[in-house]
Amino acid sequence: MKQDLGGSGPAFGFDLPDECRKAAEALFPSGGHSPARDTGAMAGFAEELGIGADYRRLLGKGRDAAEMRKFMGHFQNNLDLLIQKTWVEKNDALRKEKLQDKLPPFMELIARGDFSRAIEEFGAILNELAYLLFGVQSADDDFTEYTFRIDIEMGLFWWYGSRLVGARTDADENGEFLWALLLIGICYLTNF
């Protein structure tokens, strides 16, 4: 069972900060798990995360373009570095190894264009990364609120991650919608 990284609204005891509410609700209307099929909403959300320029530049590139391959290499290297440099208790060292082992299959899903499964796997990666970065706090209902208190952009990113876990998406024949949704997280973690 996938863990929810947190949420927004009265059920979670906290509301999104006003400065990012509009972009968040445009991407995930009513805070739900059904993302809007709106490239403007995705670009606006990327702007709120501080990755708008990278996101817009890369969204127009083919996934096989040299610039995209280079960027994806940076993403994998940065994520691997985040995992390696995270200090954990000795009994959690195996979690780090398992998370690093998830990266190549995740990258392969992207290369094959299987974005539905890649989003599921990205959600699992984010859950584990949250645990490595924040410890058991990442499993608390107020985790997203906690990350917002640290930094608005970071909180918005983990909120986005919580929406991806269990995201309901309709058929996406060519994968472009799911790729655009996933690229937001990839750009953010590349620049984290």
Flag whether 11 is in a domain. Answer: no
Domain membership of residue 3 (yes or no) is no
CA angle 1–115–73, rounded 5-degree value: 105
**Which pLDDT band, with edges at 50, 70 and 90, does 5 fall under?**
very low
Tokens found for residue 97: 């190894």
Residue 124 included in any domain: yes
Residue 89 lies in a domain: yes
Helix axes 39-48, 52-59, angle to 10 degrees: 150
What digits encode the pLDDT tens for the residues 102-157? 999 999 999 998 888 999 999 999 999 999 999 899 999 899 999 999 999 999 99
Q: Is residue 152 part of a domain?
A: yes
Instruction: Indicate whether 122 belongs to any domain.
Output: yes
d(CA 111, CA 121): 14
Residue 89: exposure state from Cβ atoms within 10 A (0-12, 13-18, ≥19): exposed
Give pLDDT tens digits for 151-191.
999 999 999 998 887 666 665 666 788 899 999 999 999 99
pLDDT for 13 equals: 45
At 65, list the tokens: 């373009």
Structural domain for 176, as ranges:
17-190
**How many domains are there within the chain?**
1
The phi and psi torsions of 165 (rounded to 5 degrees) equal -65, 110
Residue-wise pLDDT for 77-89, tens only, equals 999 999 988 887 8
Looking at the domain assignment, is residue 125 inside a domain? yes
**Is the entire prediction scored with pTM above 0.75?**
yes
Task: Using alpha carbons, list the distances in angstroms from residue 171 to 29, 111, 136.
Answer: 19, 19, 35
Structural domain includes residue 5: no
